[in-house]
Chains A and B, each alone.
Chain A
Amino acid sequence: MTLAPRPSAEPAMQSLSSFRAERAEQWLEFETLLDRAEKKSPRRLTEEELVKLPLLYRATLSSLSVARASVLDAQLLDYLQALSLRGYHYLYGARGQLGPRVARFFIADWPAAARVIWRETLVMLAVLTLGAVAGWRLVALDPVWFDAIVGEMAQGRGPASSAADLRAILYAGDGEFLSGFAAYLFTHNAQIALLAFALGFAFVVPTVLLVATNGALLGAMCQVYFAKGLGWEFVGWLSIHGTTELFAIVLAGAAGMKIGTAVAFPGAKSRIDAAADAGRSAGIAMVGVVVMLLIAGLLEGIGRQTIQSDSARYAIGATMLALWCGYYYFLRLLPAGSNRR
């Protein structure tokens, strides 16, 4: 397999006037080959074409090199430049197949990305807890705070509600529209989590506020139920999906904190490199967070309405928490640092 030889009728000679005529055919061949290669999977190219691609790429690069030094046709230079760049990105931008990539995400990349931010996760957990304690204390001091904290999410619940009303909400198994509700919860929560992550870029402050607000909401609701002696039932109602959902929100905040601190305190690296490094692994963690929220949405929308027993709710919540912790922190399917890109 070689490139098309020069026209052999005349003796080989380098001439500027024939520069283009001698090479244009190769360029066009490379262009059409790239057109097809970019549309199809590389596996569907013939062996001959696969061998030809890098040869034609190098020939084009060489043409560009000569043209830059000796040809003053701006359009030709632009064309060769664009063609070489396209070839470069095709040949050196290979990314592997999607199937193994997805598998590696679940086996290695996702838990690794979550593991890397364990410090931030602990900080965000503390922020959430502090928010919860504050919400509890405020509502305990003065029930007026409940409206301020919970606002429109109260759904008719409040310090003034009777114990019977509060209990009714916990076991409201209105069988209709469950999966629709699950889908709504998933998209809503995922959007909030993505925002919490992205806001981390603003030096973490908005992320901390967002997570603390979520904690306060939780604390305020808890206080209302505990005050009416429904604490055990409420935590069961919450934990069936809450362990997964709150874990996801904490992780989202932690990922945001990772990028925020990388931008604010880049250490030995340049600020821009530190941001790029943090951004990639935090992005992977966020895809994991979206998956977690999908599961949480299903548990909340379907599981909570159909499962009415407190102990079953606790069991499911605790199992999910154990599964997530095991997946992230204990189960290492691949040794750390093995072939990651």
Chain B
Amino acid sequence: MTSASPQSTKTLRRALVTPEGFDLGVTLAGAGARFAALVLDLVFILLILIAILVVAASGVATLKDKGVEPIFIGVLIAMFFLRTGWFTLFECGKRAATPGKRILGLRVVSRDGSALSVDQVIARNLMREIELFLPLIMLSFSGAQGNLDGWATVMGLGWALLFSLFLLFNRDRMRVGDMLAGTWVIETGKQKLGEDLSAPQYDAHRYAFSQAQLSAYGVAELTRLEEVLRRKDEAQMWVVTDAIVGRIGWAEHVSDAEGFLSAYYAGLRGHLERDLLFGWKRADKHDSAAPGMPSIG
């Protein structure tokens, strides 16, 4: 149906061709985001566990002896399913993400672009047994033995961590579980549509730029300028304004940075987008300007 292939393997960008024949492209989640999501999930699990224990303790206190056994069973089973079921159940949902992953903006997808199956979710989460718990077992084991010599502990822990940190050793940021399930974790991206910066601003007409002045920058600078405008940090906008004024040789006085920058943004974007329609994308200010352009009035 679809295919995703490792291309440009240095970055985290991977191809994803939809059945419509369009390369949508996905960005793999970095190690930091993955770790943060895991920590969040573990915190949630811990909080629920504490809640369960508090409820159980109060139950034991009120019911006395009669209630002990059912409560004991309930707590044991709940702990087991919390530990093994949390990740699987959430990743089987429509968003294919645990609460931690959702907060970080991640989701699990099938590596070949097909639908994520329950089998895959189960397989990827069963391997957490060695990724999360093996190092803990190693530590507690050496702690219990006490007299085990230091090197054995270090070797055991190192061996266990080899699985835990597997994700750092491959370009696709796959856990052992991801590898065995044929999945990887991608970023879901920005979810909200921002304001349209190219729409005419309130006093944009005050600034008119010549073609030469608009030819001073490329797409990379345009993108940076967009970021600055969206952040709306006054001091930063003045720094950028000064830089642009210096480069394009703007002679008139600039009284408000945002007005000037949004006017220049609109002008530069119109200029570069017109070039784009003629088949020329100027990557940045060091790139050459469009050749043989018909002169534009």
A residues engaging B (CB < 8 A)?
16-17, 20-21, 24, 27-28, 31, 38, 58, 61, 64-65, 69-76, 78-79, 81-86, 88-90, 92-95, 101, 109, 177, 179-180, 182-184, 186-187, 190-191, 194-195, 197-199, 201-202, 259, 272-273, 275-284, 286-287, 290, 341
Q: Among the interface residues B94, B120, B197, which one has the most CB atoms of the partner chain A within 10 A?
A: B94
Q: Which residue of A lies closest to B76 (CB)?
A: A183
- Whether the pair A286, B126 counts as a contact (CB closer than 8 A) is yes
The answer to whether the Cβ of B157 comes within 8 Å of any Cβ in the partner chain is no
Query: What are 20 pairs between A and B in contact, CB < 8 Å?
Result: A31-B191, A75-B190, A79-B191, A81-B189, A85-B188, A92-B18, A92-B114, A93-B109, A93-B115, A93-B116, A177-B72, A184-B76, A191-B129, A194-B126, A195-B133, A199-B134, A201-B127, A275-B179, A276-B181, A280-B123
Is A16 a contact partner of B192 (Cβ separation < 8 A)?
no
Total A-B pairs, Cβ < 8 A: 190
Q: Count of chain B residues with Cβ under 8 Å from any Cβ of A?
A: 71
Closest to B272 in A: A72
Using known A-B contacts A93-B115, A179-B73, A184-B76, determine if residue A61 contacts B20 with beta carbons closer than 8 Å: yes
Task: Identify 6 new A-B residue pairs, CB closer than 8 A, beyond the known A61-B22, A81-B25, A280-B120.
Answer: A16-B273, A61-B24, A70-B273, A195-B133, A279-B179, A280-B181
B72 with A180: CB separation less than 8 A: yes
Residues of B in contact with A (beta carbons under 8 Å apart): 1-2, 16, 18-20, 22, 24-26, 69, 72-73, 76-77, 79-80, 84, 92, 94-96, 107, 109, 111, 114-120, 122-124, 126-127, 129-130, 133-134, 137, 159, 163, 176, 179-182, 186, 188-194, 196-198, 219, 222-223, 226-227, 230, 269, 272-273, 276-277
Bound complex: CA of A254 vs CA of B11, how far in Å? 38
Cβ–Cβ contact B180 & A279, under 8 A: yes
B94 lies within 8 A of A38 (CB): yes
Q: Which residues of A contact B180 (CB under 8 A)?
A: 201, 259, 275-276, 278-280, 282-283
Interface of A is mostly: helix
Within the assembled complex, what's the spacing in Å between the Cα atoms of A286 and B73?
23
Name B191's closest neighbour in chain A (CB-CB).
A82
Q: Is the CB of A198 within 8 A of B126?
A: yes
| Closest residue on chain A to residue B182 by CB atoms | A276
Contact A272 B179 (CB under 8 A): yes
Query: Which residues from A are CB-within-8-Å of B277?
Result: 16, 70
Bound-complex Cα distance A282 to B272 (A): 54
A176 nearest in chain B by CB position = B69
CA of A94 to CA of B96 in the docked complex: distance in angstroms? 11
* A183 to B68 Cα, complex, angstroms: 13
Residue of A69, A75, A86, A95 touching B194 (CB-CB under 8 A): A75
Alpha-carbon gap, A272 to B116, bound state (A): 17
The reply to whether A187 and B269 form a contact with Cβ atoms under 8 Å apart is no
How far is B180's CA from A199's CA once the two chains are assembled, in angstroms? 13
B219 to chain A, nearest CB (A): 6
